[in-house]
Each structure stands twice: as structure tokens, then as C-alpha cells.
Amino acid sequence: MKLSVAMITYNHEKYIGQAIESILAQKVDFEYEIVIGEDCSTDGTRAVVTELHRRYPDRIRLLFRDHNVGINRNFAETIEACQGEYLALLEGDDYWTATDKLQKQVDFLDGHPECAICSGRARPLYEAGTQNYDINWDVFPSHPAGTYSVEDLLRVNFVMTCTTVIRRKLIDQFPEWFFEMKLGDWPLCAMVARYGKIQLMDEIMASYRVHPGGVWSSLSQGTRSEECLRMLRALDKEFQYKYTDAIREAIASMYLGLASGSRSNGKRIETAKHFINYICNGGWRRPGSARVIAGMLTFEIIGSWYKVFSGTNSANQS
């Protein structure tokens, strides 16, 4: 089989139908399957996917969990069940907006064996109840289209899960630490990208739904940063410290974001702790670091806002 779509879902009753229909709408000249890992939802998700399986039994394969196993174990076990040469990723609350998405990406990967991953761009779709969320981009990623390396991906996550197609054979056995993390797409793509390049296409291919039930988007920026730090340290060890410089750049950026958030809340001790970690991970070498350092030191010494610290940001997954 040419391609498998790995879809994980939990309590996506309102969205899962649109997600699956967006796969079925794909115009392709190859065989593909949809493998759905349903993680013992408490709403009507299982009934929706069961009905769609009844209508498309040759296309959809269901993996029903007897009990809730958690997002990353469900993610890994669903991927392991996929049989295609290529693997496309789509969670049950997102959907594809381009009907030629899979064909374009498979054609590209067929013609470029040096590439391990092909991804594109996505637009957010904000549901009611997300007005105070700090995810406020219009299109992700903002990176120029082109070819990237694993080091680029480790510095900042620019691969949007719902747009991604991966060479299935490059996915190794998932390490145990993977199941302890709150995010799985960034480490998965990083582990695959050590074997080949990443191609970012310029097309907008999907909608990323931001809603109160979103496992990642509903977390605070501080929590997302802390989880990314845990994951990056685990990846550094997994890669036997081969890409430490790139990972430390990402870690420094995370700590700068945490320091900025703590400063905004007037927490000087916490700000100092994050700022020291920013410096220790090479933040002093980053462009514009002198202005950042001056602003942070001024805040720590006199406790007031200093304009040179404005405009800083952190490198988080959407």
C-alpha cells in the first residue's frame, strides 16, 4: 500500500466526521488506508467513526482501545499499525483543506528520496471559548518554503502535524521516554529527520482547530514551554548529544519566554532563575542578546519595566 493516514482521536464527536471526510475527499492515483486509534472517548466519537467505517469498510480500519491509554501511546500504536510506504498524520479535530494534498506530497517524496518528511502550512480555526488563548498566528509556519535539516527542526518546530507526510520505514521503535511526554509530533519528526531532509511546501493544506478540548493548545504558554524543555532534553540524550548546539538554542529560547512571562507577573526570583538558564544555554550569543540582558538586569536590580526587553518571544509548537 502506498500510504496510510494515522488518525488519533479522543472526545472529538463534533469534529471527527469533518476530519475523515477531508481524507476521503483526496484526489489520488494510489491506494491508501485510514487507521483510526480511538482512545476510549467519553462522548459519541466511537459511534461516529463506527458509522463511517460501516460506509467505507475497505478504506477505514478502526483500533478501539479497551481503556484510555493516553495520547502518545495511542499515537505510537496507531502508527505501528499502519502498513503504507508513506504515513500522513491527521488528528481527529483537524481537517485538510486541499484535495490534492496527498498527491502532491507523495509525488514529491517519490521524486526526492533524500527527503524524509514533507509538510506544508495550516490556518488556525478558533472555536468558542478560546478567546484568551495565546495562540494567535494566521498561518503556520512562517518559515520560507524549502528544504530543512534536523538541526533546523530542533531549533524551532516548524512542522505542522496535520500537514505532514513521513517515510514510514524511517520510524524506529518508540523509546520509553516518548510515552511520558505531552507532545509527540515534534519528537517523532525529529527522530525521523535525522535520516533525511524536511521539505516545507508553500501551500496551505489544513485547518488546525483551536478549541477548549485541545490537549496542547489549551495548555498555558508556560506549561507548553516546560513540556518542550523536557522533551528537548530527552531528545538530546536520544541523539547521544550529536545535535546539542541546536537543542541548546531551542532551550535558551524557551527560557527566555519563561523569563518574559515571569517578569510580566512581577515574579523577580522566578524571572532570575529562567534568565540564568537562558544565559547558561548560550542565550548571550543570540542576536540582540545585549538588549535582552540589559533589560533583564534592569528588572532584577530595580524591579521596573525596561523597554529594551520588549519584543522577545519563545519558540513553541502550535
Domain ranges of the chain: 3-210, 221-309
* Higher-scoring residue by pLDDT: 166, 263: 166
Evaluate if residue 16 carries a pLDDT over 90. Answer: yes
Q: What are the distances in angstroms from CA 223 to CA 120, 164, 227, 236, 240?
A: 26, 25, 6, 20, 26
Amino acid 87: pLDDT:
98
Among 125-134, 202-211, 261-270, the range of highest mean pLDDT: 202-211
Evaluate if residue 151 carries a pLDDT over 90. Answer: yes
Place of cell 541548546: 248
For 44-54, how does the pLDDT look when each residue is reduced to its tens digit (9 = 90+)?
A: 999 999 999 99
* Higher-scoring residue by pLDDT: 273, 294: 273
For 197-230, how does the pLDDT look when each residue is reduced to its tens digit (9 = 90+)?
A: 999 999 999 999 987 777 777 777 788 889 999 9
pTM listed for this prediction: 0.87
Evaluate if residue 93 carries a pLDDT over 70. Answer: yes
AA letter at 70: G
The CATH number of domain 3-210, selected from 3.30.70.890, 3.40.50.300, 3.90.550.10, 2.60.40.10: 3.90.550.10
Percent of the chain with pLDDT over 90: 69
> Given its phi and psi angles, is residue 144 left (phi above 0), alpha (psi -120 to 50 degrees) or beta?
beta
Backbone angles phi, psi at 237, to 5 degrees: -70, -40
**What is the C-alpha to C-alpha distance for residues 158 and 189, in angstroms, rounded to an integer?**
10
Evaluate if residue 312 carries a pLDDT over 80. Answer: no
